[in-house]
Each structure stands twice: as structure tokens, then as C-alpha cells.
Amino acid sequence: MPELRKDPVVGRWVIISTERGRRPSDFPVEPVRPRGGNCVFCPGNEAKTPPEILANRPPDSAPNAPGWSLRVVPNKFPALRIEGELEPSGEGLYDRMNGVGAHEVVIETPHHSASLASLSADTVAEVLLAYRERMVDLKKDPRFEYILVFKNHGGPAGASLEHPHSQLIATPIIPIMVTEELTGSAQYYEMKERCVWCDILRQERRSRRRIIAEANGFVALSPFAPRFPFETWILPTRHRSAFEETGIDELRGLAELLGDFLRRMDRVLNSPPFNFMLHTAPLRDGPLEHFHWHLEIIPKLTNVAGYEWGSGFFINPVPPEDATAALRAGGE
């Protein structure tokens, strides 16, 4: 029997469509395997990107030259532009604003054919640290209200380059999905005086029905009402609203769990394309009792179609309990 389930944070219902119940092998994907070659993100081609904003490189190496282990550069085709003041304006009943923002690319490694799943935990920790460093720096710009870090891995997940990279976009506006999480979690807090994600963690760690893996103060779990098959969240077990306040040791612990999860996903789902998105508190909010940062990971296995676009109601053919069991079994 299919089931309707409600996300306890944003109140979004999903349809868990067991009639269409599917196993991992029912989602044939073209595995993401870099064809290699020499790309604009490869060492030696530093001049083909805008000048680097941040790089991990030996002290004696020149900027924008080989020798680095990680680079952050402005996106060459940015969705938003860094220059200019905010200028809200109207057109009759409509509102617009000039597109001020930052759009940066984190080149995660010099190795074209690597991936976050194959890199060492130390290297993944370097990537997470770069996210933190860029967030701390961009936070100083008073025009920005929010920074979203995300990754598109593989063409069907929206990546136009195969060299391992992630991106961040800083905007003068808090994105609607974050607002929905903030509103929902504030309502919950008002009622219970507890963080809803802390409550989720407590319940899931007790029942263990949807816990995929847990280590070093982080949990990877299947949410109760996932929009997508094998959607997974990684959360710190200790309450914290802002990702950028995570300590270096904690980031190392997160890097281990993230790598472990991505290798599970590669084994169970045949190296699928995927996206991940970091949900953290808005830049100006200070520590929040009701918000809990988390990383959302969604393998790209299905096409979103008319019903979802028209309703916001997602039809998910894989119960999260089945996804959990498969991903648990896919451990090393």
C-alpha cells in the first residue's frame, strides 16, 4: 500500500509509492567515469580560469601556477556578478533587483579523474575547510545574506566539467527553501523548545530504522519523507546552526563519514550522478537554537516530471527504510 509521509520540518508531504517499489538495480544509470584529458581545471591551465581567490599550495609556489592541491576561483560564467550595489526596483506590480552575488568554484584536487569518493579523508577535509574559509570571508561582505555550497557530479546532475569541483553562490536574499526550513523549525521550537533536527536525531538513533552510518559525531540517515530515492542527510549529532563554526577536527570527522557514504552510494547505485547541498543558517542570524546545519545528498536516478513540478508533491518509489538497508549493506 502506498503511503503519504510528511516532512516534520517544512510540512511537505511525499508519496512513498510502494506499488512501484524498486531495488537499486531498477535504476540503470550511466556510471560517472571521467574520460580524463586535460581540462581548464587541470594543473598547467591555471590561466584559463579567473585568478584564484584561495589556493592550498607550497609557500614557494607562484599563484595561478601549478603546485596546488586545491584552488578556489570565481566562476567564469557566473549566475550573479560580484560588482555593484543592491538596487531594488519595480515594474508595475513586480519586484526585481540587480543580480549581485558571488559565484565561486572549488577545484577539489589537481587529479582530473579523482572524486570525493576516491580521495583520502585528509583531502576531503581540505575541501570542507575551503568551504568554511570562503564562507567566513564572504560573510564580511554586508551585501550577502546567504551562502549555499553545492556540488553537481556528472552530466545528468548538471555538471558541465568532469574535473572534481564544487561551487558556492552568495546571494543578497535568503533562498526560499532555507526560509521554509527556518519557519518550520522555529514553529517547532516555539511549541517544544527543542530543535526539530535534534529530535529527529534522537528518534532515529533510538530506532535505528533509517540510520545508514554514524561516526565521529556525524550521522548519515535516510529522512522519513524523502523526495528522491536514496536521498540522504548528514548531520552533526551536536546541535549547531552554522557550518562555518565547525572546528577542524570535526571537519576531519565529517570528511571520513562523507567519503564512506559516497563509496557506499557508488557501490550500491553504480557510481551515479549526484548533487549535494549544504543547508546552514543565514549569515546574519548568529547561533540559532532552532536551526541545525545539514548536508543533503541526492543521487540523480529519476526524472522529475509534471506531477512534481505542479504540486511540489514528490512521488518516491523507494521507501527510505529500503534505501537504508541497501546503503548499510553497501559498507566496506
In whole angstroms, how far apart are CA 271 and each of 16, 165, 298? 24, 16, 13
Among 50, 78, 217, 330, binds a second copy (CB under 8 A): 78
**Residue 314, strand partner residues:** 14
Stretch that binds a second copy, among 23-31, 129-137, 256-264, 271-279 (CB under 8 A): 271-279
| 315 makes contact with a second copy (CB under 8 A) | yes
> CA–CA separation, 226 vs 213, rounded Å?
17
Q: Give the residue with the Cβ less far from a second copy, 55 or 72.
A: 72
> CA–CA separation, 23 vs 25, rounded Å?
5
Minimum CB separation from a second copy for residue 157, in Å? Answer: 6
Ramachandran quadrant class, 204 (left: phi over 0; alpha: psi -120 to 50; beta: rest): alpha
| 214 makes contact with a second copy (CB under 8 A) | no
Our answer to whether residue 165 is catalytic in this structure is: yes
| 130 makes contact with a second copy (CB under 8 A) | no
Q: Which of 112, 153, 165, 290 is catalytic?
A: 165
**Residue 275, strand partner residues:** 152, 298
Minimum CB separation from a second copy for residue 203, in Å? Answer: 5
φ and ψ at residue 195, rounded to 5 degrees: -75, 130
Q: Give the residue with the Cβ less far from a second copy, 44 or 84.
A: 84
In whole angstroms, how far apart are CA 253 and each of 15, 74, 247, 330? 34, 28, 10, 20
- Name residues contacting a second copy, limited to 95-114 (CB under 8 A): 95-99
Number of residues that bind a second copy (CB under 8 A): 74
Stretch that binds a second copy, among 23-31, 136-144, 238-246, 312-320 (CB under 8 A): 312-320
> CA–CA separation, 318 vs 192, rounded Å?
31
- Name residues contacting a second copy, limited to 216-255 (CB under 8 A): 224-225
| 310 makes contact with a second copy (CB under 8 A) | yes
> CA–CA separation, 226 vs 244, rounded Å?
26
- Name residues contacting a second copy, limited to 144-183 (CB under 8 A): 148, 150-152, 155-159, 167, 169, 171-173, 175-178, 180
Instruction: Please count the CA atoms within 13 angstroms of the CA of 155 that sit on its side-chain side.
Output: 7
Contact 242, 287 (CB under 8 A): yes
| 63 makes contact with a second copy (CB under 8 A) | no
The grid coordinates listed for 159 are 555538471
- Name residues contacting a second copy, limited to 185-204 (CB under 8 A): 196, 199-200, 203
Stretch that binds a second copy, among 37-45, 88-96, 252-260, 281-289 (CB under 8 A): 88-96
Among 6, 48, 208, 284, binds a second copy (CB under 8 A): 6
The grid coordinates listed for 70 are 586545491
Among 58, 92, 247, 286, binds a second copy (CB under 8 A): 92
The C-alpha cell 583531502 sits at 123
Give the active site residues.
Answer: 165
